[in-house]
Amino acid sequence: MDAKTFDSKSLLDSLFENGILFESGVDGLYGRSGAFEDVIERFERLVTRLGAPDKATRIHFPPGMSRATLEKSGYMKSFPQLAGCVHSFMGGEREHAQLLGMLADGGDWTELQKATDLALTPAACYPLYPTIAARGPVPAQGLLFELSSYCFRHEPSKDPARMQLFRMREFVKIGTAEQVRSFRESWLKRGRAMIESLD
């Protein structure tokens, strides 16, 4: 089959059949082979090499963040259907026995869980902003960060390019409008050159 004729389903089936991705029983949540990870790791190294002259501060955030930060960010105003909050069982022995009974009966045991103060990170930049705001004024030269995180968006799909849990890598420039524009322009050029360099 020619690569140009793939639709999302046939591409996903091919990735399963060739041992590149592994089914988990949930759309958009797949195991990844060593070959898949090797491609990602090589691409990551290429991005790191191209970004090295900028001397960005590198931060690797965990896949979870403060739920309060998510609420303050305005994410829920625009994307409530994509957000994921972490819930946990917080009951005592009596509630635990009730939960076990619900499990045994095939009932909805999740009603015995409550929201924790954690949310799943929707984009790598979200935990950065309160961290920087707490530092105080931004220096005249601005700030530059190279971020990475596993992120979550609740959008189950059979399109292998739309996973629910995925890695995100981004550069964030904080400064004047001109500093940000200039940085953006430099990466538009670098990004194009980077893609054209791939064989």
pLDDT tens, 19-40?
999 999 999 999 999 999 999 9
pTM (predicted TM-score) = 0.85
Task: Report the pLDDT value the prediction gives residue 4, as an integer from 0 to 100.
Answer: 57
Residue 102 lies in a domain: no
pLDDT tier at 199, thresholds 50, 70, 90: confident
Residue 11 lies in a domain: yes
The stretch 58-74 carries a mean pLDDT of: 96
Enclosing domain of residue 11: 1-37
- Provide the 8-state DSSP code for 5: G
CB-based contacts of 146, cutoff 8 Å, min separation 6: 48, 51, 54, 56, 57, 58, 59, 169, 170, 171
Total structural domains in the chain? 2
Please determine, for residue 7, whether its predicted confidence score (pLDDT) is greater than 80. no
Residue 149 lies in a domain: yes
Tell me the per-residue pLDDT of 153-178, one tens digit each, with 9 for 90 and over.
999 999 999 999 999 999 999 999 99
Residue 62 lies in a domain: yes
Task: Report the pLDDT value the prediction gives residue 1, as an integer from 0 to 100.
Answer: 45
Across the chain, mean pLDDT equals 94
81 with 150, same domain: the answer is yes
- Tell me the torsion sign for CA atoms 117, 118, 123, 125: positive
64 with 142, same domain: the answer is yes
Task: Report the pLDDT value the prediction gives residue 46, as an integer from 0 to 100.
Answer: 93
Task: Report the pLDDT value the prediction gives residue 6, as an integer from 0 to 100.
Answer: 65
150 with 79, same domain: the answer is yes
150 with 183, same domain: the answer is yes
80 with 24, same domain: the answer is no
17 with 74, same domain: the answer is no
Measured distance CA(138)–CA(174) in Å, rounded = 8
69 with 31, same domain: the answer is no
